[in-house]
Structure 1
Amino acid sequence: MYRWMLHMSGGPQICDCTAAVFGDEVYTFSWSSYMIYVNIFNTVSLRWRMMTPGSGECQLEVPSHRIGHSIALVDYIIYLWGGRQSGTSGCNVLYAFDVDTHRWFTPMVRGNVPQARCFHSAVVLGKVMYIHGGAYIRGFGETWTNEIIKLGTATMVWSLINPRGSPSHAQRYHSATNIGTEMFVFGRYRDKNEACNNISVFDTETNSWMNTPSAQIIPGYWLHSAFAYNGELYIFGNHKLDKICDLWKLNGETFSWKKVETKGESLSKEEWECCCNVRDRIILLKGLSGENDLSILDLNPSLKTLCKLAVIQYGLKQAGLTHDVSTPFADFAQGERGPFVNSGAAGALRSLRSLRLGRIASGRVDYMLLRDID
């Protein structure tokens, strides 16, 4: 049973967001008027933290405003690369964010440094970051590509891969997801606002595109989200431009698709989603509307979780509940922009009794997850 557990609004603005998970925290990287902003969501305390460049940090080492960039986590370093900057310029400088010190730096790189591009994909296998597809920036225009480049983070050397086999189509607005040593590439934008449902698989051990059986036809997607769970590929998001949000999964062995039904209050329609795996839960960050900035889909809810949601949903009496079931659902300050740690607003401890049909009195958080719920 897959169940939506939380829809939360009032967080930081996360337009055209990319994200990476380190421990229990989700690091988000989104554009502002001048530079990339880093916000951190703690999946245990359900608190946001906004990071700002340190006073001694070189401004040249903080990425400037951009869209269509990618990020990848290797050990404790998050690498940010590419994107379209203001106007007609692109960027091929590699930036790095240290999750221990919360500081940016620009590592020295060697080799065949790739051209600037945007709306590409990035995956990590071991200590190697793979960049696939995207659009070269040509003034106000763009030229799509299907090339694969890699960065060995141990040596910081860029290299172009000349893959064997039938290459994928030129890609942008697609997704790339690693399952084992293979990279699954799905969807893309096509002319005339059309989306594709093509899927290609690249084997990083043999540097070749694999011959895969024809999968059953599902809707085409672009501006969607993708993640891997238990060896299967999941696609969530928009069907073409009608903003239909649904969830599909692909079995990598049989190459068959299955539409996944979810329980709970469904997610409102949006584009530019970004999602991350945190154990058995998917953190979905929304892009443009700002109505619900964050949602959590539990792929394996425990019996305790389901019982608590039932108590809330049906307004059951709680007098006879044990202490661990009736403990508070949330403990954070509600500031002007939502649940920030550094908010000056006085936060009230919300108990189970204060919830009505899964909603906190402020209406800003739905189906709150209990801290340490399992």
Structure 2
Amino acid sequence: MFYLNRQINFRMRWTVHIEGGPRRVNHAAVCIEDKIYSFGGYCSSEEYKDWDPIPVHVLDTTTLRWRPVRYRKRDIALPYQRYGHSAIAYGHKVYMWGGRNNAVACDTLSCFDTKKLKWSTPPVTGMVPYAKDGHSACIIKNKMYIFGGFEYIFDQYTQDVHCLNLDTMQWTYINTHGTPPCHRDFHTAVAYNDRMYIYGGRGDVNGPYNSDDEIYCPHVYYLDTITETWINVKANGTWPEPRRSHSAWIYNDYMYIFGGLNAKTKTHFNDVYRYSIKGNLWEQLNVQGVGPCQRRRQQCLNYKDKVYLFGGTSPCTHNNYIRMRQFDDSDDNPERLIDNSDLHVLDYSPTLKTLAILAVLEYNLDPSSLPQDIILDIRTMTLPNCISRPINQSG
């Protein structure tokens, strides 16, 4: 088994790094067929208008090109700007819930039809969760499960579970059994069979109440949605340093995590860990290639054998900080952040063709004599998008 894992780790590789996509932080995203849809978020270097329609961008995973969705005028169902919200895919529709802007938090369910490129506000019944952000959401069968988050009406973190039946549009509060994860926000949740796996997030030493004294839970929990029971798996192996605002996804029988922040140690991460669901084991992966810089509040979506990572915010490197000061010398704070517009691709099984292209790029070889399809692939893997301008400031 050790030899097999070494083989898998060796094959995984970061293969693509393209700038110029949507510059977004704390956004939500889903994958439907071969398209990735990104909703909302914020950018510190842009003026944020709370009541503008939420922006939607679509990534074609074949061409690696982003494009914005143009709304129809006078669509009364358009949701407003927000961040810290959640989105799940059910068929060809996206259901978005929660989040906040600088004025209010939201408890309204919105639906985006990816075929019609149109929003609607489905009527719901039952016990609707209080408005919150920093919660997690995942889909199991025909139900969207929501856990945790920060409720602004009570100024506290939560550990509640709600589910929405996407066929009947009825909300239900789940009165769970067992010991739940502590109150938290900006954790992750992934679905595996009938289980919802929770990792990370930010809590407070005073339990649900916010005193700005953060704590980070290192444990993996899962909710068995059949028995509605919480389980602390007490994993073996090399655990990740506790964190919040990271990303998580499922590939085969593993839960992967990337990045995040531990504000107690003032550490941003760009590491990759995986948790074996069947083996109950954490391990850190040494992924080949040039990966993303340290960051938090990005999105990671897997489609087939690839993971698409985009956005988030990072601590300024020395070069980026000098570059920004050329445009803005009003702030000498060394802990300033820079919002990212880049796209990275993590390939679990890169083809020989992909590896050959990477060698051409690494050694700066002349591609002019190569077949046209190879030249086109090189262009696809390197040509910047044009959604965002090069950065000249950050917040």
Fold shared per TM-score above 0.5: yes
Alignment correspondent of 1:339:
386
Q: Which residue of 2 aligns with 1:206?
A: 227
Tell me how far 1:325 sits from its aligned partner.
Answer: 3.9
Distance 1:322 1:84 in 2: 50
In 2: Cα distance, 1:285 partner to 1:323 partner: 28
Task: State the secondary structure of the residue aligned to 1:123.
Answer: strand
The match for 2:251 is 229
Deviations 1:164-193 (A, max 9, x none): 222121121100011121111000113434
Does 2:89 align with 1:79? Answer: no
Structure 2 residue 191 is matched with structure 1 residue 178: yes
1:94 matched residue in structure 2 = 109
Q: CA deviation at 1:281?
A: 0.8
1:146 to 156, 159, 182: 159
Aligned residue for 2:357, secondary structure, equals: helix
Within the alignment, does 1:313 sit opposite 2:362 as a pair?
Answer: yes
Alignment pair present for 1:2 and 2:8: no
Alpha carbons 1:196, 1:222 under 8 Å: kept = no
What's the offset of the Cα at 1:250?
Answer: 0.4
Residue aligned with 2:386, SS: coil
Runs of 4+ residues deviating >6 angstroms:
332-335
Matched position secondary structure for 1:330: helix
Give yes or no for contact 1:83–1:90 (8 Å, CA) kept in 2: yes
1:14, 1:28 within 8 Å by CA — same for their partners in 2? Answer: no
Q: Which residue of 2 aligns with 1:352?
A: none
Partner letter of residue 35 of structure 1? P
Q: Is the 1:129–1:150 Cα contact (8 Å) retained in structure 2?
A: yes
Q: Please point out which of 127, 145, 148 is paired with 1:112.
A: 127
Structure 1: 5+ residue stretches without partners: 344-362, 365-374
Instruction: Specify the SS of the correspondent of 1:305.
Output: helix
Counterpart Cα distance in 1 of 2:85 and 2:39: 9
- Please name the residue that 2:179 is paired with: 166
**Contact 1:135 / 1:144 at 8 angstroms: preserved in 2?**
yes
1:369 aligned residue? none
Counterpart in the other structure of 1:264: 289
Aligned equivalent of 1:51? 69
1:68 to 84, 105, 123: 84
| 1:114 CA displacement | 1.6
Report the CA distance shift for 1:323/1:168 in structure 2 as closer, same or farther (over 3 A): same
Whether 1:300 aligns to 2:349 is: yes
| 1:117-176 Cα distance to aligned partner (Å, 9 max, x none) | 1110000012110011111113xx721111110000110111111112221211211000
Q: 1:9 to 1:323 in 2, by over 3 A?
A: closer
Letter in 1 for 2:258: F
Report matched runs for 1:250-289 at 5 Å: 250-288=275-313, 289=338
Aligned partners of 1:170 and 1:122: how far apart in 2? 15
1:195: Cα distance to partner? 2.9
TM-score (norm 2): 0.79
Distance 1:42 1:36 in 2: 20
* AA aligned opposite 1:280: D
What is the 5 A alignment of 1:349-360?
none
Distance in 2 (alpha carbons) for counterparts of 1:22 and 1:300:
21
Contact 1:7 1:295 (C-alpha < 8 Å) held by counterparts: yes
- Cα RMSD between the aligned structures? 2.5
Partner of 1:357: none
Identity across aligned pairs (percent)? 30
- Specify which structure has the higher proportion of helix: 2
Residue 206 (structure 1) shift: 1.7
User: In the TM superposition, what is the alpha-carbon distance from 1:215 to its structure 2 partner?
Assistant: 3.4
Residue pair 2:176, 2:228 contacting (<8 A) in 1 also: yes
String of CA shifts for 1:252-309, please: whole Å, max 9, x gaps. Answer: 1221111011111121122111110111111111223344422111111112211221
1:135 is the counterpart of 2:182: no
Contiguous gaps of at least 5 residues in structure 2 = 1-10, 42-47, 205-212, 314-337
Q: Summarize the Cα distance change of 1:115–1:266 in structure 2 as closer, same or farther, 3 Å threshold.
A: same
